[in-house]
């Protein structure tokens, strides 16, 4: 079990969370020493790797911190104004694990749920690429939406060197220097006329509980991710978006095209959770919609997902666009795992 915590610690180190890299390493040591961490995790020794047990544990603890129910441990969490220091945090965390063990064990049952606002950089950049061909009003459809926050992506501001390139200048969500590579072609009058999401387990980002869920799985020392998320909550409060509690296959079955609009089906970092059969079913529906598309009712499939360019190549977070009529598959960019920056090709 400690191996998985050490692997997660390495991942956090490489993805810019020195705090979790240290914390998860310390938790791994405590598991090896059969300390209180091992007690809290008892029974989870054989959980499958993808269940992300380590992130479930630190996410549950983070939630207690955010709810101000973790005592002085909060003083070590930058997400609530504290300063990370392992030597101070560790005895406080050990005490929390002892005192609130049962509650923390219950939290382990929930899968980590994130909604990464940075990925709007990849999704909106893809929309602008569509706008180079068709400048019709856009109908957005999303699978694996989580809280549906990125369905408001056109309401975020995209900046280059402090200058707003796309989106409303007054938006609280500000994605700074989010685009590199091939220059984007702005679409100032981009009009999203419909937006609809779906998820197996949607999070209602207009409730305190939903906001806490999404915030607790963001790594507490990643200030920019937290700021973006909180800003996107403010946009969602003003512009709530419907996220239907249905699986991806059922949802795409109901997607239709409409004359005079471009229908865009997009998704980010959710494909890996679909079974092979479900991936095939979604792909088949995409092909059917593509075949029905016309110049007056175009259809786009825009994916920002970990994938390989060619069999055997390394995984990258590729931004892939298929646009019908035509439907040629094009890798249009590569995003960082959390979206910013996205480099266009």
Positions in the binding site for ligand SAM (CB under 6 A): 113-116, 119, 143-146, 198-201, 247-248, 268-270, 273-274, 278
Q: Closest residue (Cβ) to ligand SAM? A: 144
Shortest Cβ 273–ligand SAM spacing (Å): 4
* Three-class DSSP labels, the chain: CHHHHHHHHHHHHHCCCHHHHHHHHHHHHHHHCCCHHHHHCCCCCCCCHHHCHHHHHHHHHHHHHHCCCCHHHHHHCHHHCCCCCHHHHHHHHHHHHHHCHHHHHHHCCCCCCCCCHHHHHHHHHHHHHHHCCCCCCEEEEECCCCCCHHHHHHHCEEEECCEEEECCCCCCCEEECCEEECCCCCCCCCCEEEEEEECCCCCCCCCHHHHHHHHHCCCCCCHHHHHHHHHHHHHHHHCCCCEECCCHHHHHHCCCCCCCCEEEEEEECCHHHCCHHHHHHHHHHHHHHHHHCECCECEEEEEEEEEECCCCCCEEEEEEEEEECCCCEEEEEEECCCCCCEEEC
Shortest Cβ 53–ligand SAM spacing (Å): 16
Shortest Cβ 142–ligand SAM spacing (Å): 7
Shortest Cβ 29–ligand SAM spacing (Å): 28
For ligand SAM, the closer of residues 204 and 247 by Cβ is 247
For ligand SAM, the closer of residues 90 and 219 by Cβ is 219
For ligand SAM, the closer of residues 73 and 214 by Cβ is 214
For ligand SAM, the closer of residues 122 and 136 by Cβ is 122
For ligand SAM, the closer of residues 185 and 234 by Cβ is 234
Shortest Cβ 1–ligand SAM spacing (Å): 23
């Amino acid at each position: 079990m400690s191996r998985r915590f050490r692997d997660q610690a390495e991942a956090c180190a490489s993805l810019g969370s020195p705090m979790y890299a240290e914390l998860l390493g310390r938790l791994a040591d405590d598991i090896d020493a059969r300390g209180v961490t091992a007690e809290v995790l008892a029974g989870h020794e054989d959980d499958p790797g993808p269940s992300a047990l380590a992130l479930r544990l630190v996410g549950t603890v983070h939630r207690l911190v955010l709810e101000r129910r973790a005592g002085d441990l909060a003083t070590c969490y930058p997400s609530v104004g504290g300063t990370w220091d392992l030597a101070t945090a560790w005895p406080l965390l050990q005490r929390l694990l002892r005192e609130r063990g049962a509650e923390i064990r219950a939290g382990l049952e929930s899968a980590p749920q994130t909604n990464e606002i940075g990925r709007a950089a990849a999704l909106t950049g893809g929309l602008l690429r569509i706008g180079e061909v068709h400048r019709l009003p856009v109908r957005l459809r999303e699978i694996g939406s989580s809280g549906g926050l990125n369905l408001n992506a056109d309401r975020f501001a995209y900046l280059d060197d402090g200058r707003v390139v796309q989106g409303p200048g007054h938006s609280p969500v500000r994605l700074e220097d989010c685009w590199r590579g091939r220059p984007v072609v702005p679409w100032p009058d981009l009009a999203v006329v419909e937006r609809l999401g779906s998820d197996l387990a949607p999070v209602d980002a207009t409730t305190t509980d939903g906001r806490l869920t999404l915030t607790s799985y963001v790594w507490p020392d990643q200030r920019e991710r937290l700021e973006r998320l909180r800003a996107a909550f403010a946009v969602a409060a003003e512009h709530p978006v419907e996220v239907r509690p249905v699986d991806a296959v059922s949802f795409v079955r109901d997607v239709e095209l409409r004359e005079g609009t471009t229908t865009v089906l997009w998704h980010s970092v959710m494909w890996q959770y679909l079974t092979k059969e479900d991936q095939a079913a979604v792909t088949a529906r995409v092909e059917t919609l593509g075949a029905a598309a016309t110049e007056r009712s175009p259809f786009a499939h825009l994916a920002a997902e970990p994938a390989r360019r060619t069999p055997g190549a390394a995984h990258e977070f590729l931004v892939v666009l298929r646009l019908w009529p035509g439907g040629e598959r094009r890798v249009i960019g590569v995003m960082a795992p959390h979206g910013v920056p996205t480099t266009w090709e």
